[in-house]
């Protein structure tokens, strides 16, 4: 028995707009076990959402295309599917029933002219026609803390936090094995964030759902995840357990991320943000993609693309400095040109 | 687990989108008056249909204004009379009862108005929804074809269709429906294209809804508002077009009465006996005005910016 639920191998996704290639995801490898919560962190434009859409088989085509790699999904009935290479019919069957997704903005993710009850019902009607969809929908509503009497109300009658809970109810109505949460709390204020996260955690345990938590909020990750993957310019540059990444941070970019948030027990006059901007995905730098912004960058970083370097069984990073290879040691520090 | 917030669950009254629309329309008195007038015309048309087309109806309504004999029966001794107790709205140049002819004409106008708009909404709406959702080359080809239709003046197109196919009722409906198809297609397409990009469509995709389901259950209900408004306004246009075609002798043929051919008849003696033309023209004005006011009222009621 294999308890790997999702196995992404060397995934590459590109968007072609007006002949210009945007390299959104560049060869990522990810494994997700059953019931595991993986956090995917990165700046805007790092390819987090594209990865999520690829797992759903929802990359808009055109302009997007999975150019390389595969996404193997194994469910509890040991059905193996490569999401990148199946027909549309099979994808429709998986979406919503095996893999669900929660979208970023609860305000726009609900159909304004359909009652919320009907919207929760929809997925059940599609995937589990034998179940009494109305009863299930009411159960789900109660589960996310909304009285079932409000079944027939419309989205505009709910607050943002409640809408997000309704969306979670929709996503979990068919008890999927994998839940992709694309910045589920970004649009909510902090107190509601905590509520929603707590609830997701409870439900995750109740249904034993694996979760891919996409966010740029390191606090959210610390609160919910088992493992963390840090994404930069379409690559995973550091991966490990929560402890590995938070206590034993290796990659300069990850350090930069931690330096840009205020710490409660350190007195700091100024935060140290990472200088520069995320690289343009149509024109990625050579070698290590982070080198133009990295304070430790040397000339070797321009030429050699770092490989995954394992620090221990669970923790790897992509950095020449951490790797400590000779090329890095021998090359000069980049002078500002 | 989060505590349940039950506080406003019971006190709040909630309505579906249609009930909400009705609730808001009710506040607009002018629209309600228009709706009332139009409902009156609807009822009259239905009674007229029963009185003329069914044998039971013929017996019940014998001798009333709904009787077809009154619509076509001539009495050359009593032409162009002013209103009196046996002819409430006077008579025309053949001595026929004006009220009876207006009532019969209402039925023709409303039948053609409603069914031609229904036809063009159905065809134009489906085309618009299809090309709006699919997009790309299909969209380009079909919309350019629609543009060709839009380039021809609608009344000319209607005249061309009627003169080549004949002026039987189905052809009249078609003649009036076809020129307004491109308009509906454009409106639906625009609405669908906006809705298609919304996040809840992506969310519907993410729960495994098929394309057909997404179009029918998510996109079309969300793009109804502009269609409803355009339809009410189009019915007015269709009634006017019918009258226009009859006026120039291409629509409903005498002795059957229709508002357009009544006006056409009236123009011959408008300087000596203007009452007949006046009353016919007024009927048309009232119906068209009511439709336009109702259309405006619906637009206001459907506009989310004017909520409450």
ipTM: 0.79
Q: Whole-angstrom Cα distance, residue A75 to residue A86? A: 15
Residue B184 domain boundaries: 114-277
Question: In B, which residues are within 8 Å of A108 by CB distance?
Answer: 198-200
Residue A61, pLDDT > 60, answer yes
Q: Among residues of chain B, what percentage have pLDDT more than 70?
A: 93
Instruction: Please report whether residue A66 resides in a domain.
Output: no
Instruction: Please report whether residue B235 resides in a domain.
Output: yes
Instruction: Please report whether residue B104 resides in a domain.
Output: no
Q: Whole-angstrom Cα distance, residue A50 to residue A40? A: 12
Question: In A, which residues are within 8 Å of B210 by CB distance?
Answer: 92
Instruction: Please report whether residue B269 resides in a domain.
Output: yes
Note the pLDDT tens digit of each residue in B258-289: 888 888 888 888 888 888 889 999 999 999 99
Instruction: Please report whether residue A276 resides in a domain.
Output: yes
The pLDDT of A33-61, averaged and rounded, is: 86
Nearest CA in chain B to A182: B203
A221 touches chain B (CB under 8 A): no
Question: In A, which residues are within 8 Å of B10 by CB distance?
Answer: 149
Instruction: Please report whether residue A314 resides in a domain.
Output: yes
Instruction: Please report whether residue B43 resides in a domain.
Output: no
Query: Could you say which residues from 87 to 126 on chain A have a Cβ atom under 8 Å away from some Cβ of chain B?
Result: 91-97, 100-101, 103-105, 108-115, 122-123, 126
pLDDT at A330: 78
Inter-residue contact B95 to B159 (CB < 8 Å): no
A170 touches chain B (CB under 8 A): yes
Angle at A101 between CA A98 and CA A102, to 5 degrees: 145
Tokens of A4: 């790997």
Q: What is the mean pLDDT of chain B?
A: 85
pLDDT at B308: 47
**Distances from the Cα of A331 to the Cα of A284, A309, A325, B229, B233, angstroms:** 22, 20, 10, 71, 76
Residue A325 domain boundaries: 252-330
Instruction: Please report whether residue A218 resides in a domain.
Output: no
Q: How many domains does chain A have?
A: 1
The backbone region for A183, taken as left when phi is positive above 0, alpha when psi lies in -120 to 50, beta otherwise, is: left
Of A114 and B69, the one with more pLDDT: A114
Instruction: Please report whether residue A262 resides in a domain.
Output: yes
Instruction: Please report whether residue A81 resides in a domain.
Output: no
CA end-to-end span of chain A:
56
Residue A87, pLDDT > 90, answer no
pLDDT at B11: 41
A139 touches chain B (CB under 8 A): no
Instruction: Please report whether residue B67 resides in a domain.
Output: no
Q: Let me know if B266 is exposed, middle or buried by CB neighbors in 10 A (0-12, 13-18, 19+).
A: buried
Instruction: Please report whether residue B49 resides in a domain.
Output: no
Backbone angles phi, psi at A280, to 5 degrees: -65, 120
Instruction: Please report whether residue B211 resides in a domain.
Output: yes
pLDDT category at B187 given cuts 50, 70, 90 is very high
Q: What is the mean pLDDT of chain A?
A: 85
Instruction: Please report whether residue B20 resides in a domain.
Output: no
Our CA-based measurement puts residue B3 at a distance from the nearest CA of chain A, in whole angstroms, of 6
User: Nearest CB to B6: which of A96, A113, A147?
Assistant: A147
Strand A99-102 to strand A80-82: parallel, antiparallel, or no bridges (unpaired)?
unpaired
Residue A48, pLDDT > 90, answer no
Note the pLDDT tens digit of each residue in A285-324: 888 888 888 888 888 888 888 888 888 888 888 888 888 7
Residue with tokens 């995709």: B205
Q: Which CATH number covers residue B186?
A: 1.10.3720.10
User: Nearest CB to A149: which of B9, B198, B218?
Assistant: B9
Q: Which residues contact B71 (CB under 8 A, 6 or more apart)?
A: B96, B97, B100, B101, B103, B104, B255, B256, B257
Q: How many CA atoms lie within 13 A of A180 on its CB side?
A: 27
Instruction: Please report whether residue A282 resides in a domain.
Output: yes
Residue with tokens 């009258």: B243
Question: Are the beta carbons of B14 and A94 separated by less than 8 Å?
Answer: no
Q: How many domains does chain B have?
A: 1
Residues in chain B: 308
Tokens of A244: 């590995």
Query: Whole-prediction pTM value?
Result: 0.76
Q: Whole-angstrom Cα distance, residue A221 to residue A224? A: 5
Q: Which residues contact A284 (CB under 8 A, 6 or more apart)?
A: A23, A26, A233, A234
Nearest CA in chain A to B1: A199
Collect all residues from B whose CB is shorter than 8 A from any CB in A: 1-6, 9-10, 12, 14, 16-17, 198-200, 202-210, 213, 217-218, 221-222
Question: Residue A194 belongs to what H/E stretch?
Answer: helix A190-207
Q: Which residues contact A24 (CB under 8 A, 6 or more apart)?
A: A13, A14, A15, A47, A50, A64, A234, A281
């Amino acid at each position: 028995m294999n308890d790997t639920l999702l196995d992404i191998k060397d995934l590459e996704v590109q968007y072609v707009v007006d002949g210009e290639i945007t390299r959104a995801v560049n060869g990522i490898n990810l494994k997700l076990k059953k019931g595991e919560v993986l956090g995917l962190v990165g700046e805007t434009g790092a390819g987090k959402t594209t990865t999520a859409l690829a797992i759903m088989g929802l990359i808009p085509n055109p302009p997007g295309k999975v150019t390389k790699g595969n996404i193997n999904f194994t469910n509890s009935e040991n059905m193996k599917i490569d999401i990148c290479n199946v027909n549309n019919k099979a994808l429709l069957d998986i979406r919503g029933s095996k893999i669900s997704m929660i979208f970023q903005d609860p305000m726009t993710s609900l159909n304004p002219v359909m009652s919320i009850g009907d919207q929760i019902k929809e997925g059940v009607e599609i995937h589990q026609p034998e179940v009494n969809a109305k009863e299930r929908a009411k159960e789900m509503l109660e589960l996310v803390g909304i009285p079932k009497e409000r079944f027939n109300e419309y989205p505009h009658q709910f607050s943002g936090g409640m809408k997000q809970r309704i969306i979670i109810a929709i996503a979990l109505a068919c008890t999927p094995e994998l839940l992709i949460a694309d910045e589920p709390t970004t649009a909510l204020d902090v107190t509601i964030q905590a509520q929603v996260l707590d609830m997701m955690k409870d439900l995750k345990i109740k249904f034993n759902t694996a979760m891919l938590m996409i966010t740029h909020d390191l606090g959210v990750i610390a609160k919910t995840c088992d493992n963390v993957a840090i994404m930069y310019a379409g690559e995973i540059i550091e991966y490990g357990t929560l402890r590995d990444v938070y206590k034993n941070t290796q990659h300069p970019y990850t350090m930069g991320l931690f330096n840009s948030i205020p710490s409660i027990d350190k007195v700091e006059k100024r935060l140290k943000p990472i200088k520069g901007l995320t690289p343009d995905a149509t024109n990625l730098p050579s070698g290590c993609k982070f080198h133009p912004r990295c304070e430790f960058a040397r000339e070797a970083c321009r030429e050699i693309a770092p490989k995954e370097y394992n620090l221990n069984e669970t923790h790897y990073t992509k950095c020449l400095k951490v790797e400590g290879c000779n090329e890095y040691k021998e090359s000069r520090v980049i002078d500002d040109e | 687990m989060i505590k349940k917030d039950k506080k406003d669950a019971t006190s709040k009254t909630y309505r579906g989108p249609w009930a909400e629309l009705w609730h808001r329309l009710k506040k607009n008195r002018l629209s309600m008056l228009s709706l009332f007038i139009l409902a009156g015309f609807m009822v009259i048309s239905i009674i007229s249909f029963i009185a003329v087309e069914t044998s039971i109806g013929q017996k019940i309504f014998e001798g009333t204004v709904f009787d077809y004999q009154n619509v076509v029966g001539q009495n050359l001794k009593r032409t162009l009379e002013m209103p009196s107790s046996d002819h409430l709205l006077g008579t025309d140049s053949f001595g026929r009862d004006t009220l009876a002819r207006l009532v019969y004409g209402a039925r023709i106008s409303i039948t053609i108005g409603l069914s031609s708009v229904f036809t063009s909404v159905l065809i134009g709406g489906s085309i618009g929804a299809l090309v709006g959702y699919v997009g790309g080359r299909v969209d380009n080809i079909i919309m350019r074809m629609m543009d060709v239709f839009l380039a021809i003046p609608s009344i000319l197109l209607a005249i061309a269709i009627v003169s080549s196919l004949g002026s039987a009722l189905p052809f009249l409906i078609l003649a009036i429906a076809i020129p307004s198809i491109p308009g509906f297609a454009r409106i639906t397409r625009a609405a669908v294209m906006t809705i298609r990009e919304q996040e809840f469509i992506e969310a519907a995709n993410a729960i495994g809804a098929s394309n057909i389901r997404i179009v029918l259950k998510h996109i079309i209900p969300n793009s109804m508002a502009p269609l409803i408004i355009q339809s009410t306004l189009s019915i007015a246009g269709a009634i006017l077009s019918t009258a226009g075609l009859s006026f120039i002798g291409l629509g409903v043929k005498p002795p059957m009465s229709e508002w357009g051919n009544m006006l056409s008849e009236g123009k011959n003696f408008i300087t000596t006996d203007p009452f007949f033309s006046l009353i016919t023209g007024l009927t048309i004005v009232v119906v068209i005005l009511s439709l336009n006011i109702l259309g405006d009222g619906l637009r206001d009621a459907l506009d989310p910016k004017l909520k409450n």
